[in-house]
Amino acid sequence: MSGLARGAGVAELVTRARDGQPRAVARLITLVENEAPELREVMARLAPHTGHAYVVGLTGSPGVGKSTTTSALITAYRRAGLRVGVLAVDPSSPFSGGALLGDRVRMGEHVTDPGVYIRSMATRGHLGGLAWAAPQAVRVLDAAGCDVVLVETVGVGQSEVDIASQADTTVVLLAPGMGDGVQAAKAGILEVGDVFVVNKADRDGADATVRELQHMLGLGAPRAPEDWRPSVVKTVAARGEGVDDVTAALGRHRDWLTAHGALAARRARRAAREIETLALTALRRRMADLRGDHRLAALAERVAAGATDPYAAADELLAGLTGRAEGGARGVD
C-alpha cells in the first residue's frame, strides 16, 4: 500500500491510534491530508469509534489571540482530566503547500503532554478558514479518544465561516482596540457564534466592545424563550484570566444542545455536508476525466450545430457519469 509502505497496515494503525499513540494518530491524519488510497479503509475502521468528542471551533480576525486562547483552553480541559485534540489550521506555504504559521509553536507548553495532540494543517487553497481535510481529521482525533477537539481556524473575515458547519459549538473571538473589529464581524461571523469572547480585556475599550457586541446580538432575529442566547465573556488569555468562564459557557451550550436535540441535528448536518462534498468531488473528478472523451466532444458538436440545447446535453452527460460503476470519492478511489 502506497501510504503505508514502510510500516503498519491500516488495521494496526487504527488500533494504535485508538490506544492513544501519537505517531499512529499523526500517520492517519497524514493519510487524510494526502488523500491516500487507504483513506476509505481508514474511515470505515474509524467509524464505529466516532461521535464522542465535543468539537469546539474558534474563529476571529487575525490578532485577537486565537492560539493563546486555544492554549488556555487546553490547560483548563486538561485540569479537568479530559483528553484534548487540536487542529490549528494555517495558511499554506506557496512553496511547499504546508502549514505556514505553525500555531503549535504557541502551544509549546503542551507538546510533551500525552493527553494532548496538536496538529497544524494547511488550508491548501481551501476558502472558509478551514482545510479540506479538517472534517476527517476531526474523525481521527475523535476515534483516538479525545474528549474535546479544538479547531482553530485561519484568521478570517466576514465570509469565511465554515467552522460553524464543522463544530458543535463555535467560539468567536474579538479584541478591543482592533478598529472596526465588531463591525467587520457583524456581516458574517457574528451570525455563527454560540459563545463570544472579548480577549485582551485588560486593554482600554474592552467594556465598550462588550456593550457593542451585546447590542448587536440584541438586534438579531427574535428568539423564543427556549432558544440559545449567545454568551459574551471577557478574557485575558495570556494570563489565563476568564478562561474558566469560557469553559463554563461552552458547557452550558453543550447542555442546551443535548437537551433540545440540537447536538444530534448539528452532527447530522455536518455528516450530510461531508457526504455532499465527497460526492461532488468525485463527480468533478469524473468530469475532468472526460476531457478529450468522445461523448463530451459529440455532445459539444450537437450543441454547436443546434441539434440539442446545453441543458439537455448536460443531462445526458450527467446520466452517463452517474451510471458509471467505476470511480469514487476524493482520496478514497
For residue 296, which amino acid is it? L
pLDDT digits (tens, 9 = 90+) for 271-281: 998 888 888 87
Name the nearest CA neighbour of 164 among 134, 194, 198, 138. Answer: 194
Residue 296 confidence class, pLDDT cut points 50, 70, 90: confident
In this structure, are residues 138 and 161 in contact, taking their beta carbons and an 8 Å threshold?
no
Predicted confidence (pLDDT) at residue 92 exceeds the cutoff of 80: no
Residue 323 confidence class, pLDDT cut points 50, 70, 90: low
Calculate the average pLDDT of the chain.
82
Q: Which grid cell is 72?
A: 488556555
pLDDT digits (tens, 9 = 90+) for 98-152: 444 445 555 678 888 999 999 988 654 444 445 567 889 999 999 999 999 999 9
**pLDDT over 70 percentage in the chain:** 77
What is the distance between the alpha carbons of residues 56 and 171, in angstroms, rounded to a whole number? Answer: 7
In degrees and rounded to multiples of 5, residue 120 shows phi and psi of -90, 135
pLDDT score for 297: 85
What is the distance between the alpha carbons of residues 178 and 76, in angstroms, rounded to a whole number? Answer: 27
For residue 191, how many other CB atoms are within 10 A of its CB? 15
